[in-house]
Amino acid sequence: MPISFLKTKDLIPQSILRIGCAVMIFTLLQQSCLAQGQDQLVNVFRSADLPPVMRFLDGTPVETQEHWQRRREEIARLWCETYIGHFPEETPDLLEVHVASETQRRDGVIVRDVRLEFDTANQTACHLRILLPPIGTKRSDQALPLLLTQPRNYQLAWGEAAVKRGYVVCYYPGVDYNHREQDFPGFENTWKQFKDACPNATWSSSLAIQSWIAGRALDYLLSDRFDRDIHPEQVGIIGHSRYGKQSLYAAAFDSRIKAVVSRSAGSPAAAGYRFTGRDTFMETVMDAPTEWALPSLKTYFGREHELPVESNGLLALIAPRACMLHTAYNDGSDPTFAVERTYLSAKRAYQFLGHTDKLALVYREGNHNPITEEHIAVNLDWFDWNFGRGNIDRSRFSEKLLHRFDWKAWRKQQSNDAMTSPDSESSLSDRVQWMLGEAPAWAKESGSSHPLTILKEEDYGVALWSRDRWKPKGVVRMPVSFGANVHGNLAFPKQHDKPLPVVIWLHPFNYSHGSNEGYGVEGTSIYYRLAQAGYAVLSFDQIGFGDRLLEGASFYDEYPRWSKLGRMVFDVRCAVDFVRGGHGIAEGAMPDMNSDNITLLGYSLGGMLALHAAALDERQLQVATFCGWTPMRSDDDSQLTGGIRRWWEWHGLLPKLGLFHEREKEIPYDFVDLLKSISDRPCLVYSATNDRQVTPSDVVAAVNEAKMRAGGILQFHHVQDVNRFQSDQHKILLEWLARIR
């Protein structure tokens, strides 16, 4: 452990210290593996993007069917080693089948409860509930389709709708460890019994064991012991959330399952951990319950870019069988950007196998829940289409992507003059404005000229739990609207005896919820914590995030000469206008605010935005950035960050940066220039030594250069930690705000 770290430990919040120690321990473990020659990762796998499914771990491309079979085996092995542990080497035989009960409902559906006993040391048993369509109890001449699902209360409707379509439905014991279903007693504990009964397995994931139990149900349902013929090419499985994970596991490791619908499965199933870090407020490796994954998975916290296999690999295991990802625009577990990266990467395996039509990504409006009749219909239609039942057209599941940015097509729309950057003698403002693009005429007018409305809670796409779950007493959160009809919230203490200093909260890459936090909240969210401490906090969703997600999808169709970051900077300026001059509306009475004490607080994307907005605003705005940037001129493709490609292509924030791809040194300005331009204002920069989104040494060099001009007014925290913005970082922020207040 470095001596300098030990000497400064008393100055570092304890949870940061714990994270720092953990990071170093993980690093030592990794170095040990390297020394033993166990780490085969090449740079193409140790990267910001998802590991390629069509390359072996040593980097060799997959070019033949024989290659693919070996690569598939490699992915399966890596998945087990990384996430769930290994399944039993041998599957126990089915010994006995006991029909515990059988009844026929008024609608003719037969409900049968069955007990299966297997050849294990204790003859481990599992129970199934089977719904049979009303065609009699004798074997039919026509083989029937089969749908498997877990009997969680909100999933029973799938089974009821499927049996009406003529499916045999099987509810197998896949209920999660902390869920209880009164009508399915003990289903949540069956996995534990099989875990103990198979000592030669190294599995520790309840979801994986339950997916394996689905296979044991198939052992019975596809055998002569079952009194209906199940069509072997018409076996499907469906699940929502954690059960969506489980369903993907089942399909990936049991080829008898020919179609799967995974709804809002989150990480690591539908959304890769590389794109659901703390800077997205989504599900990280630290958030996976101990029952779901190997303990070693948590060692990848902060170094998710070193995971040898990700969600795209799981989907590739299912290829060329049918797989639908069904996710919501504002899903708190399934961020659209991460899901699309997974889908597009896994699609390469389907393309190689000649079945791109068998993989689908279907969006729905709203949040993680509920499951509606419309959702049920599109889910079951996917099975019907794949099984050749009815007259379902493939266009029902057509590809509609939200985040694909075609840079080449964008470039063709631009004039050569517009693509010529200002020379180095031009002002910083001119250089930055050129990069941000040409704003439309209406954006050059006063923001107050736009019609404004208040968005009611029932109109929000974002889950309400993210708004009020952590709300402390004595805090108001009031809907407001400003600028070009941007909707936000103003949080402030109910009781205050003097004008409140203002913080404008600029959120990270939280595509699902925008300014509202999700996973990783410690105690309360940042806007409530600041309000509780005596600040008025204005928060709103940036273009392309949260309630404005779809605005981002069509942005360049409407504004090909502007940029998303340019629109974000415009919205920040309008937010300041609202705070300083009341250019907007509020649902209630505005608190008394100190318009001369405004801080732009940005985390991740928000930090990048805060520096741009402050540099272009002549008003004396204070700035606090947390894990917000890395110098662009040194952020080339050789870096593990993903390089500037993240900004001009992946997220489509600054298209003109694409002009400098592979000649990054020529970028007209960098973050050090932005820092220097606000050197007369209080500024806090927080950077983590183990932030995989930045090059730490470059950040340090840039801050040190800017400090020479700032004369001590720039405060820099360079902490042994990973990229995150939680209670310890909040504490650092509050202490800094108190000093400049």
What gap in Å lies between CA 231 and CA 585, rounded to an integer?
A: 61
Residues 569-619: pLDDT tens digits?
Answer: 999 999 999 999 989 999 999 999 999 999 999 999 999 999 999 999 999
Residues 132-191: pLDDT tens digits?
Answer: 999 754 444 689 999 999 999 999 999 999 999 999 999 999 999 999 999 999 999 999
pLDDT value of residue 216: 98
Average pLDDT over residues 239-243: 98
What gap in Å lies between CA 567 and CA 573, rounded to an integer?
A: 10
pLDDT value of residue 741: 83
Q: Residue 456 above 90 pLDDT?
A: no
Average pLDDT over residues 654-673: 98
Against a cut of 0.85, is the pTM above it?
Answer: yes
pLDDT grade for 8, boundaries at 50, 70 and 90: very low
Q: Residue 401 above 60 pLDDT?
A: yes
pLDDT grade for 87, boundaries at 50, 70 and 90: very high
Residues 276-320: pLDDT tens digits?
Answer: 999 999 999 999 999 999 999 999 999 999 999 999 999 999 999
Q: How far is CA 509 from CA 363, 503, 605, 675, in A?
A: 19, 19, 6, 22
What gap in Å lies between CA 223 and CA 240, rounded to an integer?
A: 28
Q: Please state whether beta strands 486-493 and 500-506 pair in parallel, antiparallel, or not at all (unpaired).
A: unpaired
Q: Residue 247 above 70 pLDDT?
A: yes
Q: Express as a percent the part of the chain with pLDDT over 90.
A: 87
- 297 alpha-carbon distance from chain centroid: 17
Low-confidence winner among 642-646, 707-711, 732-736 (lowest mean pLDDT): 707-711
> C-alpha dihedral over 490, 493, 498, 502, to 10 degrees?
-40
Residues 573-586: pLDDT tens digits?
Answer: 999 999 999 899 99
pLDDT value of residue 40: 53
pLDDT value of residue 266: 97
pLDDT value of residue 449: 63
* β-sheet bridge partners, residue 283: none
pLDDT value of residue 14: 46
What is the CB neighbour count within 10 angstroms for residue 731?
14
Q: Please state whether beta strands 110-118 and 125-132 pair in parallel, antiparallel, or not at all (unpaired).
A: antiparallel
What gap in Å lies between CA 199 and CA 202, rounded to an integer?
A: 8
Average pLDDT over residues 219-247: 97
Half-sphere exposure of 234 (CA within 13 A, CB side): 20
Residues 313-357: pLDDT tens digits?
Answer: 999 999 999 999 999 999 999 999 999 999 999 999 999 999 999
Average pLDDT over residues 16-42: 45
Nearest to 592 by CA among 504, 496, 503, 473: 496
Is the distance from CB of 358 to CB of 350 less than 8 angstroms?
A: yes
Residues 195-213: pLDDT tens digits?
Answer: 999 988 999 899 999 999 9
Q: Residue 262 above 90 pLDDT?
A: yes
Average pLDDT over residues 9-27: 43
For the chain, how big is the Rg over CA atoms in Å? Answer: 27
pLDDT value of residue 458: 79
Q: Residue 360 above 80 pLDDT?
A: yes
pLDDT value of residue 459: 83
What gap in Å lies between CA 690 and CA 688, rounded to an integer?
A: 5
pLDDT value of residue 25: 43
Q: Residue 256 above 80 pLDDT?
A: yes
pLDDT grade for 450, boundaries at 50, 70 and 90: confident
Return residue ranges of the chain for CATH 3.40.50.1820: 94-397, 407-740
Is the distance from CB of 267 to CB of 276 less than 8 angstroms?
A: yes
What gap in Å lies between CA 726 and CA 523, rounded to an integer?
A: 9
* H or E element that contains 111: strand 110-118
| Average pLDDT over all residues of the chain | 92
What gap in Å lies between CA 84 and CA 252, rounded to an integer?
A: 13
> Which residue type does 359 have?
L
pLDDT value of residue 18: 47
Residues 467-517: pLDDT tens digits?
Answer: 888 999 999 999 999 999 999 999 999 999 999 999 999 999 999 999 999
Low-confidence winner among 306-315, 366-375, 451-460, 486-495 (lowest mean pLDDT): 451-460
Return the CATH class of domain 407-740: alpha beta
Q: Residue 677 above 70 pLDDT?
A: yes
pLDDT grade for 460, boundaries at 50, 70 and 90: confident
Three-state SS for 641-695 is: CCCCHHHHHHCCCCHHHHHHCCCHHHCCCCHHHHHHHCCCCCEEEEEECCCCCCC
Q: Express as a percent the part of the chain with pLDDT over 70.
A: 93
Instruction: Tell me which architecture the domain covering 94-397 has in CATH.
Output: 3-Layer(aba) Sandwich (3.40)
What gap in Å lies between CA 381 and CA 375, rounded to an integer?
A: 10
Q: Residue 77 above 50 pLDDT?
A: yes
Q: Residue 1 above 80 pLDDT?
A: no
Nearest to 608 by CA among 510, 556, 675, 668: 675
Q: How far is CA 310 from CA 75, 242, 716, in A?
A: 9, 17, 35
Q: Residue 12 above 90 pLDDT?
A: no
What gap in Å lies between CA 140 and CA 166, rounded to an integer?
A: 12
What is residue 186's three-state secondary structure?
coil
